[in-house]
Amino acid sequence: MNATQSVSILIVEDDEGHARLIEKNLKRGKISNGITHVTDGQQALDFLHSEGAFAGQVRPSPLLVLLDLNMPVLDGYQVLERMKADPQTRHIPVVVLTTTDDAREVARCYDLGCSVYITKPVDYESFCEAIQQLGLFMSIVTVPDGE
């Protein structure tokens, strides 16, 4: 997300506290990009396809998705699988950001097409630091433009 790119960020996170911490610490990591937050997997797909509550809205492009795995309605695995199977969304980078650190789950996410898998630290300070580092990482990443 270098200076020539204005990449929008979609946070897919059902825990409001985690979502606020992510947004706050991305900003501390010098990320000032547009951020949209949704609380379940169906809302994420609706956002990506301009459906449901997002009908008539143009999806920002380029876009980066920060995806939790454990969510209601549709979980992160289902969202990731559907995104990567759809020609309209398969190019969108997905950073899985979750508390699950099981090696089988990590492998499953990479098999489904995630770009990066990050385990959320349980400790508050470590969580904040990890998100700030993610922000620094995102500041140098180039994301493909959509469509």
Domain residue ranges in the chain: 8-136
Q: What is the mean pLDDT of residues 107-133?
A: 84
80-108: average pLDDT:
93
For domain 8-136, the CATH architecture is 3-Layer(aba) Sandwich (3.40)
Supply the DSSP symbol for 2: -
| 113 backbone φψ class: left, alpha, beta (φ>0; ψ -120 to 50) | left
- Considering the chain, what is the average pLDDT of its residues? 86
pTM of the model: 0.87
> pLDDT band at 106, cuts 50/70/90?
very high
Mean pLDDT calculated for residue range 91-117: 92
Taking the CA atoms of residue 23, residue 43, residue 69 and residue 87 in that order, the dihedral angle to the nearest 10 degrees is -110
Taking the C-alpha atoms of residue 108 and residue 136, their distance in angstroms, rounded to an integer, is 26
